[in-house]
Structure 1
Amino acid sequence: MKKEGASKVLIVDDEQDMLTGLERLLGYELPQVIVETASRPQQAVAMVERNAYDVVLLDIRMPDIGSMELLKILRQKDPWLTVVMMTAYGSIETAVEAIKRGAYDFVTKPFDKNVLLQTLNKAIERNSLIRENLDLRRRAQGEPPLDQFIGQSEAMRRLCEQIRTVARTDYAVLIQGESGTGKELVARAIHSLSPRRDQALIAVNCPAIPEHLLESELFGHKKGAFTGADRDHRGIFEEAHQGTLFLDEIGDIPVGVQTKLLRALQEGEIKPLGDVKAKKVDVRILSSTNQDLKEKIRQRTFREDLFYRLNVVTLRTPSLRERREDIPLLAAHFARIACRELDVPVKRFSQTALEALMECDWPGNVRQLQNVVRQAVIFSPEDVIRWEDLMRIEMSLGSVGTVEHRCTMGSSKPLTPYKDAKEKVLQDFTFRYIKDLLERTGGNVSRAAEYSGLTRAALQKIMRRYGIHSQEFRSET
């Protein structure tokens, strides 16, 4: 039976034992993921034509159709498909070539379970972001890229104005911000508004490429430069010539590669591994990080001169905590998308549910909010998503803590039920009101009762309940 709202992964391998083992592993470790398998290339192509998959896990060696050709066909069927290659250690070079041709990442056999699960989770998140951006583009119908940014807060207006300004320049831009705040979306908006918009934008997830391959991927290599280099290989810098190169999570680049990256930025040229000649490249650099690069400089794990080359202009993506007033707009937007995906009538949030969402700290930021909204759409039985539905997500999924101890979406501050919250506000108001009343009347209970419209007995009862004593407010004669 289909799990409503679940992600879908297609595993393509000609070894049935491998398919069975992976299907069993993912079914146990990722219960919210639907796993389907294909043992033949033609079967995989037909399945991608019929279904929308979040990730395809594709073996590097397939019969009948080579893996590169199969990758090309699958991406022709779905240009935004996220493909992760499975490869033996001896075929890593082929997997890297597959990344150049559109694959997202690769994992090596025999699998390290944690690495495999982490890679798949990241691929699913990446696909979710891509599909969301595509939906925004379709809805925008050619409107400017900044219309993809949902929110009317001062922080978002300031960010959009900064994007417009820096897009007109050719300066290197460092985008700083927490995970899930849309740093890649900012980079794509800058490129789309820049004079280089008609050229390539190439995004590189720096932590995803093994250290021993990163230099070759960035700058390329000549045939024979190292064991396994059986042909010349164009680097990402060359691929991005006259366009834009986005280095995601730049703080994870090894120090040795940092030195060569600095030279490329300073000289405007690269030297592929094994080549004696340098090549001129014209590339605009955008980079992002969620780390404190100045602290990494103090720890000598990041070059200071490279930092200033990358940090000509700094943009900071605000966390969701800093723009809470945008949460109702974002929640409504994500709810519309989820309802359309699930083919159900549009649902809206009640006021108390919105207030609950706005109370949370959101450590996962916009991405986390979107996931919670999707769950709320699935589990709310009516057209209005209520506070109780958010609590039901708590108890049924266990993904965001418990009602009694944590904010529903990961805040350190507990969510208070509406009735209790209202009572607390009323108590605070009553306490402040009575104190102010007695201060103004110098502790005269009769006059205080007269001014407040209460009887003396009723006022004294309230004072006893809150531990307020009239003598504390009487002036000494």
Structure 2
Amino acid sequence: MQPQRLLIVDDEKDMLEGLQRVLAYELEGVSVTVSDDPETVMADIQQQCHDLVLLDVRMPEVDGMALLEAFGRCEPPPTVIMMTAYGDIETAVTAIKQGAYDFITKPFEIPDLLRVLRKGLERSRLIGENLTLRRQVSEKAAFTHFLGQSQPVRRLYQAIKSLANSDYAVLIRGESGTGKELVARAIHGLSGRSSRDLVAVNCPAIPEHLLESELFGHEKGAFTGAMAYHKGLFEQAHGASLLLDEIGDIPVSVQTKLLRVLQEREIRPLGGTHDFRVDVRILSTTNQNLEEKIKDRTFREDLYYRLNVVSVFTPALREMREDIPLLVQHFTRQVCDELGCASKRIAPEVMNRLVRREWPGNARELQNFVRRLVLFTPETEIDRDALAAVAEEPDRAAGITPFPGGIEEIRPYLDEKERLIDAFTDQYVDQLLRKTQGNVSKAARLSGLSRQALQKMLNRKGIDPETYRES
């Protein structure tokens, strides 16, 4: 266990030397440092870590109250006890209001000083334990949705913890379905900004003509339909983090304005006449090759370097095959809970097939595949028959060929959409009733539909569940 650290700042050298000798003896397990140079203390205040500070109020070079304020900006701030002249109660009260824990008046007796210092050290110890506990809870919460113990995943965990301790812009790169947004949320959740919610924007989902307004806000009357002031996402994320999801799809016209905001740390809403500062940490994700986009002049190189101060890569599922059994078991429990059905076991041969199978869509594709496995398995074990029923791509598994006559026979969109939906519904209901042997209540539970909704579907299709019952 590391010793607690006590710093004493006073301009009286003789008193400092005497206190250091006495306190080093009386306060067991406490490292005592003294300084008669408050200017040096002020200059090094962010580099020095102390649990307790005994600080004189009146010093010629730097006022003790200014040092008190500076200590309050440390992370975490130390417990500060002020030394005041006899009878200067007004100054002591002011110090307490500005963050001091306690005060002691000069001249003081050593037993009185020891009593005050021990109380301050105990407070610092409790605060330290509380901070450690909060960090542990925050870390557990931040990694709630992460699974895996393979080497690539462990490296990712370590990268997240390291990045959380900085305020650098982070570019999170990886294939689709590898959990890039989860990484961004974990970095924010472990950071000093976690007391405020992460603000996220899916860049491709917002039309180009609206994206600038969403990011930077707009004044009333800035454009047709701007009926009131709109707070942009940068302003909403002030003091927190902003996630720019799929940044590679942001239009070049908006890239230029985004670059300016990142450089100046100021925004100007559309239609506004004044800039104002924002304190925002930028987290970005992409599954694209931004370097190629820079060559194609569809992504600004200077913006790339602003966003890519630090990179983190999310591993693809093929790089962490040893974690697939863990993921499959988790997804199976999750789906059973969603459907309200009994838990299911994965047969060993099925698990082996899932581990060897290629998953270009990564964890998201695996999760959807497990959903189909559970859905079409009324028994307690997911076996080879269940795997065979859903092993093909969804369209082929349902017996649907999108364009059976070739591309030349493409029909109107709405007609083709209706045909595909009808074909899927027929095949789905047929498999569902076969698995449940015509038990409508069980079929409804497995499918996630209400019994009434499923019954209406059967009536509309003219399907009699009795024909599926075993004689």
TM-score (norm 2): 0.54
Is residue 2:189 matched to residue 1:192?
A: yes
The structure 2 residue matched to 1:311, chosen from 300, 308, 311, is: 308
Name the CA shift for 1:376/1:308 in 2 (closer, same or farther; >3 Å).
same
Give the SS at the match of 1:143.
helix
Aligned partner of 2:212 in structure 1 is 215
Q: Residue 387 of structure 2 is aligned with which of 385, 390, 400? A: 390
**Amino acid of the structure 2 residue aligned with 1:269:** E
Deviation at 1:395, TM superposition (A): 6.5
**Are 1:145 and 2:106 counterparts?**
no
Task: Specify the SS of the correspondent of 1:285.
Answer: strand
CA contact under 8 A between 2:149 and 2:323: conserved in structure 1?
yes
Question: Deviations for 1:6-48, whole angstroms, at most 9, x for unmatched residues?
Answer: xxxxxxxxxxxxxxxxxxxxxxxxxxxxxxxxxxxxxxxxxxx
Q: Report what 1:156 is aligned to.
A: 153
Q: Which of 348, 352, 356 is 1:351 aligned to?
A: 348
Residues 350 and 384 in structure 1, CA contact (< 8 A), matched pair in contact too: yes
The partner residue of 2:224 within 224, 227, 233 is 227
SS of residue paired to 2:140: coil
Question: How many angstroms apart in 1 are the aligned matches of 2:392 and 2:267?
Answer: 55
- The answer for unaligned runs of 5 or more in structure 2 is 1-136, 400-471
Counterpart of 1:290 (choices 277, 287, 290) is 287
- 2:354 is aligned with 1:361: no
Q: In structure 2, what is the Cα distance between the partners aligned to 1:398 and 1:356? A: 21
Task: For 1:275, give the aligned amino acid.
Answer: G
Question: Shift in Å at residue 343 of structure 1?
Answer: 2.1
Matched position secondary structure for 1:204: strand
- Name whichever of 191-200 and 387-396 sits farther off: 387-396
- When the two chains are superposed, the root-mean-square deviation of aligned CA atoms in Å is 2.0
Corresponding residue pairs, total: 263
Q: Kindly state the Cα deviation for residue 214 of structure 1 after the two structures are TM-superposed.
A: 0.5
Q: CA deviation at 1:243?
A: 0.6
Aligned to 1:252: 249
Contact kept in structure 2, 1:258 and 1:303, CA below 8 Å: yes
Task: Work out whether 1:331 is the aligned partner of 2:324.
Answer: no
Measure how far apart 1:250 and its partner are.
Answer: 0.3
Displacement of 1:245 in angstroms is 0.3
Q: Which whole-Å CA distance do the structure 2 matches of 1:394 and 1:271 have between them?
A: 53
SS of the aligned residue for 1:374 comes to: helix
Within 2, Cα distance between the matches of 1:381 and 1:387?
Answer: 13
The 8 Å contact of residues 237 and 245 in structure 1, kept in 2 or not, is answered as yes
What is the CA–CA distance in structure 2 between the aligned matches of 1:141 and 1:244, rounded to whole Å?
A: 16
Q: Which runs of 5+ in 1 are unaligned?
A: 1-139, 403-477
Q: Report how far residue 142 of structure 1 moved.
A: 8.8
Say whether the 8 Å CA contact 1:246–1:287 is kept in structure 2.
yes
| Cα pair 2:153 2:315 within 8 Å, conserved | yes
- Contact 1:217–1:236 (CA<8 Å) still a contact in 2? yes
For 2:383, the aligned partner's letter is R
Distance 1:357 1:395, change over 3 A: closer
Between stretches 200-209 and 343-352, larger displacement belongs to 343-352
Change (3 A) 1:400 1:181: farther
Deviations 1:126-176 (A, max 9, x none): xxxxxxxxxxxxxx9993422421111111000011000001110000000
Aligned AA for 2:221? G
For 1:333 and 1:401, the matched residues in 2 are separated by 26
**1:388 shift after superposition:** 2.4
- Runs of 4+ off more than 2 Å: 140-144, 394-402
Cα distance in 2 between the residues matched to 1:269 and 1:302 = 22
Query: Which secondary structure state, in structure 2, belongs to the residue aligned with residue 196 of structure 1?
Result: coil
- Cα separation, partners in 2 of 1:247 and 1:395, compared to 1, 3 Å: closer
Q: In structure 1, what is the Cα distance between the partners aligned to 2:394 and 2:262?
A: 48
State the Cα deviation string for residues 367-422 of structure 1 (Å, max 9, x = none).
Answer: 111111111112123222122211112479545699xxxxxxxxxxxxxxxxxxxx
Contact 1:320 1:366 in 2 (8 A): yes
Q: Distance in 1 between matches of 2:164 and 2:228?
A: 37
For 1:274 and 1:141, how far apart are their aligned partners in 2? 40
Tell me: CA distance 1:190–1:263, structure 2 relative to 1, closer, same or farther (3 Å).
Answer: same
Alignment of 1:390-409 (within 5 A): 390-394=387-391, 397-398=394-395
Q: In structure 2, what is the equivalent of residue 243 of structure 1? A: 240
Instruction: Give secondary structure in 1 for the equivalent of 2:248.
Output: helix
Are the equivalent residues in 2 in contact too, given 1:245–1:286 (CA < 8 A)?
A: yes
Distance (Å, rounded) in 1 between the aligned partners of 2:393 and 2:187: 41
| Cα distance in structure 1, aligned partners of 2:154 and 2:139 | 21
Counterpart of 2:57 in structure 1 is none
Structure 1 residue 273 displacement after superposition: 1.1
1:271 partner amino acid: R
Contact 1:356 1:387 in 2 (8 A): no
Given that 1:177 and 1:316 are in contact with CA atoms closer than 8 Å, whether structure 2 keeps it comes out as: yes
**Partner residue in 2 for 1:322:** 319
TM alignment of 1:408-447, pairs within 5 A: none
Tell me, yes or no, if the aligned pair for 1:394 and 1:401 is still in contact at 8 Å. no
How far apart in 2 are the matches of 1:327 and 1:340? Answer: 20
1:243, 1:396 → 2: CA distance? 42
Amino acid at match of 1:291: Q
Amino acid at match of 2:351: L
Aligned twin of 1:300: 297
Please identify the structure whose Cα radius of gyration is greater.
Answer: 2
Q: Deviations over 1:451-472 (max 9, x none)?
A: xxxxxxxxxxxxxxxxxxxxxx
State how far apart, in whole Å, the 1-side matches of 2:328 and 2:363 are: 9
Give the secondary structure class of the aligned counterpart of 1:148. coil
Q: Distance in 2 between matches of 1:230 and 1:191?
A: 33
